[in-house]
A and B are shown apart, each in its own frame.
Chain A
Amino acid sequence: AGNQETSDGIVIGVSLPTQREARWVRDKETMEAYAEELGIDLRMAVADADMAQQASQVENLLAQQVDVLILAPHDASASASLVKRSVAEGVPVISYARLIRDTSDISLFMAIDPEEVGRLQGKFLVDTVGPGNYILMAGAPTDYNATLFFNGAMEYIKPMVDSGEINVVAEQAVENWLPANALAIVENALTAANNKVDAILAPNDGTAGGAIVALEAQGLVGQVVITGQDAEVAAMKRIVAGTQTMSVLKDTRILGKAAIDAAVKIAQGETPDTHGSTIDNGAGEIPALLIPPIVITKDNLDEVVINSGYLERSQVYGE
């Protein structure tokens, strides 16, 4: 943790993409609590899943003379110009949670790699189900991160599709990530496949929830393997109940605190220690601090989610 004396007067700006998803709310809370603990002046701006709005907010943070900017972009590729502007003003940028591409001005990247999350989902399906009938859903077609998740998963699934082992019953993107849309997609896909479905790739817990409703209606729940991510409370309850097969934990508490620590270091002119690990963002190697995402199943849920303190036992199991 940072030192009370030296962190005095440091202003850290944070720009988050949305508050509609629980994980970002957690990021926000973690960082705010930790900054208060350290006595750091934290300027937090949260956009509403809108890149233009986020661009304005970054400008407004810069206008507040922050020393370091922690930027979790809504659209990582579209954020290079924000980094450029920020660095031009002498404000170093930490690329948080999503890797900002095509700029070498980033001081540090720290994240859970979205493609890695996708890979975990794809690998899980291929390992547990293997050949069979699959319903593949991607996140919002307008959301670049959705593409990254999906591409990650397809690294495992695509070869088996090509070899004919996997039969894709339906492959559709869920508009706006809305569970209701996922529900309709799965309902219709089940109708089309006459219920002969073995696995569903759901891009996150919300859409998984929608898909499971469709499975329930056909009495297929528990028989079809279904993925997710975000470790939402609702999903944890479903995993306990056996209706959802897996989710992916991205423990943002560690990430949030680490980001503040790194920001303080950078503000004081030091270089945060990444143990030499770097990542290529298209413009060169960037120092990187990567936190591995973890697969959650019924078997490891208690250990990974509850014992680690990510969620309270009562939240998942009730009173």
Chain B
Amino acid sequence: MQEQQTKIVLELQDITKRFPGVLALDNVSFKLRAGEIHALVGENGAGKSTLMKVLSGIYPKGSYSGTILLHGTPVEFSDIKESEQHGIAVIYQELALVPYLTVRQNLFLGNERRKGLRINDIEEYKLAQKVLERVGINVSPDAHVIDLGIGQQQLIEIAKALLKQAKILILDEPTAALNEQESENLLEIIRELSKEGVSLVFISHKLEEVLSIADSITILRDGRSIVSTVDDDKTVNLWSEKNIIKYMVGRPMEQRFPREPHNRGDHILSLRNWTLYHSERKDRTIINNLSLDVFTGEVLGIAGLMGSGRTELATSIFGTYNGIVTGEIEIDGHSSGPLTTEACIAKGIVYLTEDRKNLGLVLNMSVQENSTLAVLGRLTRHGLVVDSFEEKKAARKYCEELTIKTPSLEQRAMNLSGGNQQKLVLAKWIMVEPRVLILDEPTRGIDVGAKFEIYKIINRLIERGMAVIMISSELPEILGMSDRIIVFHEGQIRADLRHEEADPEKVMFYATGGIENGKA
């Protein structure tokens, strides 16, 4: 561990950044010491991402006030290239990959290996293979990013930043889309980098991670820096999740998972012989002959590794899967073939996507318009005209219920912080008053306070007689909230556990393809 007095490599002084109607950063100061891992935490919308964008030149000089000192000298960046030239690399919260390009092309984008005028393909290949291995992802450098899941994309982003060999590396919620194992792998890489002398800023809502890895912590609330261990000489070792939460939220929080015992009700949804074919290779199945029963009054957790096919299962139920789907779906005793999305919503089955930016939101529409998009047909007069008052009321009600932080309902979705965008997608689906709510990584990028709110909402929905299917790569969440857990491996259900039976080892055992003794 570094010495207390290690020199400060980077200092942000009195940074103030204003957006129309929002004071995102209010005189924030931040110090980063050489070779340390510095955690930056705070509620959704606290200003973490904005601070880092000021630092990296996304918000160029002149668009904020305050000073940036790099090794003691003031610097100003007018674009990303400049901050990169000073050895600063950033992994942004919003994934910034080009879908039609290949993994290799994305990895070296803006940072090509050249040989004279041309790109040195062979060197890029070799480097790509190495770095992909290092971040622990098994995809070909020639694969197209559009074909990758969100978790894989996150790893590509990390690999891309590693290739820049920065002196200061900023990671904005890098583990939000990763499962435990991958996260652990990433944390290990971060520790190595820190040992190599790289200074890192680590933004995360997963407080266990923060505590396990950080050398220092700075906490932001409402655009102000509340405390920083660099100033107070407190060591991180003395910190606990509880007092981080206290600083973040402004009040203590006792409990992480407000699980209540539920009473399982009737059969509401069943799948029979459910088979999904690969969208391009029609001879290959992603899920083969799956059967599944869902009951009202229960939270059904689905655990599994990345790429195990959970998202595909959910999208196939919801009618948005891109390949062929066969099998039967039974709702309230009526059985039929796969449904269209429209029909699903009409029957009260809704799906919260794991990819809020590309699949969840129309970013240039307002908060209000996004929130009502799925129920617009119901908010009409005579089934024809949108009742703007009803619409506004509904939007306001759900935004308040989910504590979405926005200056007005007219704000464009693209201007919300990542976590608030996630809440907005959730608001859209709760507004439907669904009977079966399928959540895919619902708390990705959400702060602890808001997570707790979402769990309470899940409980409320269950009490009203709904069913919730929760796909999540966060084991504590699955274990903490589910009444029943099924574990996925390569498109198959490997285990079906009651809340009481489940523990982390068991779930991981099945998720990695383990088979029960005696049956093997």
The reply to whether A and B meet directly (CB within 8 Å) is no
